[in-house]
Each structure stands twice: as structure tokens, then as C-alpha cells.
Amino acid sequence: MIALKKDHMELLLKWRKQARVKDAMLTEVNHSLEKQFEWYNSIRNDPSKKYWLITFEEKPIGVINLSEIDQVNNKCSAGFLIGEESFSSLGAIVLPALYNYIFKKRGFLKVYGSVVSSNKTILKIHEIHGYRQIGYYEKHILKNNEYIDIILVELMAENWLSKKKFASYEAEWD
């Protein structure tokens, strides 16, 4: 995984504006490239966030990230998007490499997050990876003029590390 750079913003913006990506995300992006550069400047030196470009044989296919990195309590959130639609099946494959990085290399205790309730695919992927649903916020976000529910999830280190079938999924992290 290559650390996200300013040069990647145009591609990332194109991916974020795709309907299938918008539907899956908590936030919608409709802004300009200038605004995208502003976003990049806001995250690049933020110690609570880390973004990487996902590449497959050097072809950029998506973005994966950590956010809300809390080195005191050893927890973080994680996210990803596969921008190149023909690689969208790899969504559930790239996450195990990230979890091995989080739990083995960084030594974190948990990953936690929020999922749009209509995103059944990622909820199922989370289930396969060992997440548990801990609750939900009802009508928590206004999206497309409709209030939507948010499911709260977490994955504990001991649960992930007990899943031997994903132990070999590794990646290099810039």
C-alpha cells in the first residue's frame, strides 16, 4: 500500500463521485478538485488519520485508511473503497491485510466503526471478519433527503487473531 499523495486526489475524487461508492459511504462527496486538495492538506499531517492507495500490480484500484487513531487507548476506525469497479470483488480481501497490520504490527486492541444500515454487503463482510454489532443510531444521518440508521460495529484483537484463515493476508504499508 502506498501512502496517499496529492497526485492521487483527482483519481480519488473520481472514485468518490461514483454512485455505487456514494451509496455505501456515510458522507457524500460532490465537491471540486480544489476542495479535494484542501481535504488532503487537512489529513496529511493529522496523526489520527492514515490513508494508503491500494494498488494491484502497480495499478491504483482503491483507497484504504485508518482514522480516529488513538494511541492512548489503542483503538482506531478503518475504511476502504475500491474505486475500480472491475476489482470490486477484492473488497473483502484487502481488509484482512489491514487488520493484520492494525493488530499485529500496531498492537491495537480494537477497530470500531459505523456502517450505513442499507450497506448489507459491508455488514456481511464485517460478520465474516468477526465484527460484532453493538447497536445502532436511528435516523442518524440525512442522506438524499432521507434520515438513515447507522449500525455501530467493533472488531476486537483477540477475535481477529483467533481467525487463522486470515493470518496469511499481508501487505506492505508505506
Partner 1 sequence: MKQNGINFKNIKMNNNEAYELIDGVVKNLVASDAINTIDGFDEQTIVLGNGSVLDSISFITFITDIEDKLQEVTGKELYLVLNEINNFNVDNPNLTVGGLATYLATLSK
Q: Which residues bind partner 1 (CB under 8 A)?
A: 56-59, 82, 86-93, 121, 124-125, 128, 165-166, 168
The DSSP symbol for 6 reads G
Alpha-carbon gap, residue 125 to 148, rounded angstroms: 20
CB of 66 to partner 1, least distance (A): 20
- The sign of the torsion formed by the CA atoms of 153, 96, 78, 60 equals negative
Closest contact distance (angstroms) between CB of 124 and partner 1 is 5
Considering the complex, state which of residue 84 and residue 149 has its C-beta at the smaller distance from partner 1. 84
Residue type for 45, please? N
Q: Considering the complex, state which of residue 74 and residue 118 has its C-beta at the smaller distance from partner 1.
A: 118
User: How many residues does the structure list for the chain?
Assistant: 174
Q: What is the CA radius of gyration of the chain?
A: 16
